[in-house]
Structure 1
Amino acid sequence: MNVIKAIYNFLVGDIIILIGIILTLLILVLLNTVSGLASLRGASGIIMIIGTLVVLTLTLTREVRGHRSKLS
């Protein structure tokens, strides 16, 4: 169990990052498979970048709030 946790912490480090990136990838898969969303396929790169930035910003904000509450 410790090996699995060590690998998880090395690759992901945070469950918010893991879930956020998976959700972003699922949205991109939907864009590429659903024919009604074909007009948005050209924006898939921008959607991936924005989704990743949002996830990382949420994680960073949570970390900063955690450190501030420990200092107070």
Structure 2
Amino acid sequence: MSALFNFSSLIQVILLLICSSTYVHSQWPSILDRYKDHEALGAFWKMARIGERASPYVSLACILVAFNQFQS
């Protein structure tokens, strides 16, 4: 089943994008800052901002998804 039609897989993909974008932005900030105002690539910059500002909630969501994967 596609990740778009399975809610838990969609949440995993979104969390993976947020965590990956936050890591890339923390290591090489100029890469994402360059495309901040770009329409399509600006989404990665926005995901990095979500990961930076809401990091405790993102971490908690990652832990919950990991427990969900262990149970299934």
Superposed pair shares fold, TM > 0.5: no
Q: Which has the larger radius of gyration?
A: 1
Higher-helix-fraction structure: 1
TM-score by length of 1: 0.36
